[in-house]
Amino acid sequence: MLVAADVYRPAAIDQLTILGKKVGVPVYSEGTEAKPSQIAKNGLKEAKVNKADVIIVDTAGRLQVDKAMMNELKEVKKAVNPTEVLLVVDAMTGQEAAGLVSSFNDEIGITGAILTKLDGDSRGGAALSVKEVSGKPIKFVGQGERIEDLEPFYPDRMAQRILGMGDVLSFVEKAQEVMRQEDADELQKKILSAKFNFNDFLKQTQMIAKMGSFSRLIGMIPGMNKVTPAQIREAEKNLKFMESMINVMTLEERERPELLAESRERRKRVAKDSGKTEQQVSQLVAQLFQMRAKMQKMMGAMQGKESPDMDELMGSMKAEEQSAAGTGRRRRKYGNLRQRQLDAMRGFRRR
Ligand SMILES: Nc1nc2c(ncn2[C@@H]2O[C@H](COP(=O)(O)OP(=O)(O)OP(=O)(O)O)[C@@H](O)[C@H]2O)c(=O)[nH]1
């Protein structure tokens, strides 16, 4: 159960209520008139009645120079005798974060820290010094604005990430969290039999969304830390763009993209319903067939079933990576890409 004991910022209670609804956790509040220590005490009672196993008391942010506020915090602590007292600090403040944890520990007695906005602190300096300076561990880190972006903290993984080795363990864990083994097997089968369709495509993009933002995922892969935020935003935008077209396709069309490849009427309808151009719909359809072909080649290679032309594969991927947006080179390549997409569609029609 969440207990709203930040009575100084009225929006804080609403914020917590919304969050509680989102994650399906009850929120106890008494408005802004009651004393935080009293709210905490009553909240604890209510949690016991409801048989809640964990209770989190949210208190207002404060400066340690404000004596009255610090005393209030001591009262809250006395009122509920908590197992954990966690101070939330912002990684963007750098070394100051470590100093804050230290002084709150001296004053209140805390058990650890939650370091947020680590996504904005590329050097991770604060993460390294909190334990060193204060003697208190970081228990959770925030790496984005979404709930999934708050995670338990593993110092060794953080060290690897800072050293540029990526955080492969966290990446694998995230993937396991959102994708069941059966789904993975099913997907593999579809790829191998060239039946990967728009439903699978949607599932994949939704899985990526569940795993957290693109930027964080990419940062976890070794050697990929250098992707710029602008490139990530572009990729996310592209996915949304494609999703909006898939969303207006009929179930049958999603299942059998061939229908769209064969019928201009269908492509026209999808374009109209999604507010995109017919050409953009054609591109998306062609892209799906290209993905099918590429995935099949890769899977085949991994399973040793087929000997794909890896040079060609790597070459085409490299060319795509190297062409920066808005350059003449990209426009030229775009021409080629269009040609390849058209070829892919023609290839399909011939079958
Ligand atoms: N990028 C990023 N934004 C974050 C992170 N954690 C929190 N935020 C954002 O920071 C803003 C402030 O967060 P709050 O949770 O309202 O801050 P608070 O600690 O409750 O503030 P107080 O009222 O002072 O207690 C919100 O817009 C959050 O979405 C993080 O790890 N990364």
Q: Identify whether the C-beta of residue 66 lies closer than 8 Å to the C-beta of residue 109.
A: no
The alpha carbon of 105 and the centre of ligand 1 are apart by a number of angstroms equal to: 21
The alpha carbon of 212 and the centre of ligand 1 are apart by a number of angstroms equal to: 17
The alpha carbon of 89 and the centre of ligand 1 are apart by a number of angstroms equal to: 10
DSSP characters over 188-204: HHHHHTT---HHHHHHH
- Mark whether 48 and 158 lie in a shared domain: yes
pLDDT of 94:
77
The alpha carbon of 113 and the centre of ligand 1 are apart by a number of angstroms equal to: 14
pTM beyond 0.90, yes or no: no
- Mark whether 200 and 244 lie in a shared domain: yes
- Mark whether 15 and 158 lie in a shared domain: yes
The alpha carbon of 174 and the centre of ligand 1 are apart by a number of angstroms equal to: 23
Q: Is 141 helix (H, G, I), strand (E, B) or coil?
A: strand
Q: Evaluate whether residue 117 is within a structural domain.
A: yes
Q: Evaluate whether residue 322 is within a structural domain.
A: no
> Can you tell me the distance from the alpha carbon of 255 to that of 246, in angstroms, rounded to the nearest whole number?
11
Which CATH number covers residue 240? Answer: 1.10.260.30
> Can you tell me the distance from the alpha carbon of 175 to that of 207, in angstroms, rounded to the nearest whole number?
8
- Mark whether 152 and 265 lie in a shared domain: no
> Can you tell me the distance from the alpha carbon of 150 to that of 173, in angstroms, rounded to the nearest whole number?
14
Q: Identify whether the C-beta of residue 280 lies closer than 8 Å to the C-beta of residue 271.
A: yes
Which atom number of ligand 1 is nearest to the Cα of residue 62?
Answer: 24
Nearest CA to ligand 1 atom 2: 144
- Mark whether 132 and 270 lie in a shared domain: no
What is the number of domains present in the chain?
2
* ipTM of the shown complex: 0.94
The residue to mutate among 145, 150, 232, having the most atoms of ligand 1 within 8 angstroms of its beta carbon, is 145
- Mark whether 32 and 123 lie in a shared domain: yes
Q: Evaluate whether residue 168 is within a structural domain.
A: no
Name residues contacting ligand 1 (CB within 6 A). Answer: 6, 9, 12, 60-61, 88, 116-117, 119-120, 142-145, 149
The alpha carbon of 309 and the centre of ligand 1 are apart by a number of angstroms equal to: 49
Which CATH number covers residue 30? Answer: 3.40.50.300
Nearest CA to ligand 1 atom 4: 145
How would you write the pLDDT of the chain (351 residues) with one tens digit per residue? 999 999 998 799 999 999 999 999 999 999 999 999 999 999 999 999 999 999 999 999 877 768 888 999 999 999 999 999 999 999 888 778 888 899 899 999 999 999 998 887 655 667 777 887 888 999 999 988 888 889 898 877 776 666 655 566 676 666 666 666 667 677 777 777 778 889 888 887 777 766 666 666 666 666 665 566 677 777 778 888 899 999 999 999 999 999 999 999 999 999 999 999 999 999 999 988 888 887 777 666 655 544 444 445 444 444 443 443 333 333 344 344 444 444 444 444 433
pLDDT of 22:
93
Nearest CA to ligand 1 atom 14: 12
Nearest CA to ligand 1 atom 7: 145
- Mark whether 24 and 141 lie in a shared domain: yes
> Can you tell me the distance from the alpha carbon of 55 to that of 29, in angstroms, rounded to the nearest whole number?
13
- Mark whether 191 and 138 lie in a shared domain: no
Q: Which tokens sit at 343?
A: 């070829």
Q: Of 69, 20, 65, whose CA–CA distance to 43 is shortest?
A: 20
- Mark whether 108 and 235 lie in a shared domain: no
The alpha carbon of 298 and the centre of ligand 1 are apart by a number of angstroms equal to: 41
Q: Evaluate whether residue 17 is within a structural domain.
A: yes
- Mark whether 143 and 187 lie in a shared domain: no
Q: Evaluate whether residue 339 is within a structural domain.
A: no
Unique residue bearing structure tokens 């939650």: 114
Q: Evaluate whether residue 143 is within a structural domain.
A: yes
The alpha carbon of 294 and the centre of ligand 1 are apart by a number of angstroms equal to: 41
The alpha carbon of 13 and the centre of ligand 1 are apart by a number of angstroms equal to: 14
The alpha carbon of 56 and the centre of ligand 1 are apart by a number of angstroms equal to: 16
Which atom number of ligand 1 is nearest to the Cα of residue 91?
Answer: 31
Q: Identify whether the C-beta of residue 114 lies closer than 8 Å to the C-beta of residue 138.
A: yes
Q: Evaluate whether residue 320 is within a structural domain.
A: no
Which atom number of ligand 1 is nearest to the Cα of residue 143?
Answer: 31
Q: Of 286, 271, 200, whose CA–CA distance to 241 is shortest?
A: 271
Structural domain harbouring 56: 2-163
Among candidate residues 99, 128, 163, the one where a domain is terminated: 163
In the 3-class helix/strand/coil scheme, how is 260-314 assigned residue by residue? HHHCHHHHHHHHHHHCCCHHHHHHHHHHHHHHHHHHHHHHHHHHCCCCCCHHHHH
- Mark whether 124 and 191 lie in a shared domain: no
Q: Identify whether the C-beta of residue 272 lies closer than 8 Å to the C-beta of residue 301.
A: no
Among candidate residues 132, 163, 194, the one where a domain is terminated: 163
Which atom number of ligand 1 is nearest to the Cα of residue 144?
Answer: 32
Nearest CA to ligand 1 atom 28: 145
- Mark whether 123 and 272 lie in a shared domain: no
Which atom number of ligand 1 is nearest to the Cα of residue 60?
Answer: 25
> Can you tell me the distance from the alpha carbon of 332 to that of 334, in angstroms, rounded to the nearest whole number?
5
Q: Evaluate whether residue 314 is within a structural domain.
A: no
